[in-house]
Amino acid sequence: MEHYSEEQIKSILESYQKKRIREKKYYNSIKDTEEFKQKNRKMAKDWYVKNSDLRKQQYVQNNELQRAKVSYHYYNKLNRVEDFKKKSPDKYQLLLDNHYISEANPDSSITNSPSSSDAEPSQ
């Protein structure tokens, strides 16, 4: 690994900043031209056509996760997350595995008064 002096690091950073300013200035000067728009649209369309199967595959793979998220939000909105854990342990585990939710510390849930999710619904 190369070791750079403070002056070299400063020089590298300054040249990078100048390059970014030049590139941004150039982009801002051409972004509104019809030629640039057509070229950009063509590249975007080509990418979409080339990768549409990949996108479909990702939607299919994430379908189960999306359904688990929707169910979780439904139960969470009603303050019934414990019911969700009991009725759909596989979905709950999927959300935990994907780090969408984190499991609460079991010791912190022990209190003297019942929480709103533990209370019986009024009739």
Residue 104 binned pLDDT confidence (cut-offs 50, 70, 90): low
pLDDT for position 85: 93
Each residue's pLDDT tens digit, 6-30: 999 999 999 999 999 999 999 999 9
- 56 has a pLDDT exceeding 60: yes
Locus of tokens 């595959």: 57
Each residue's pLDDT tens digit, 62-94: 899 999 999 999 999 999 999 999 999 999 999
From the number of C-beta atoms within 10 Å of its C-beta (0-12, 13-18, 19+), residue 50 rates as: exposed
pLDDT for position 2: 80
- Model-wide pTM > 0.75: no
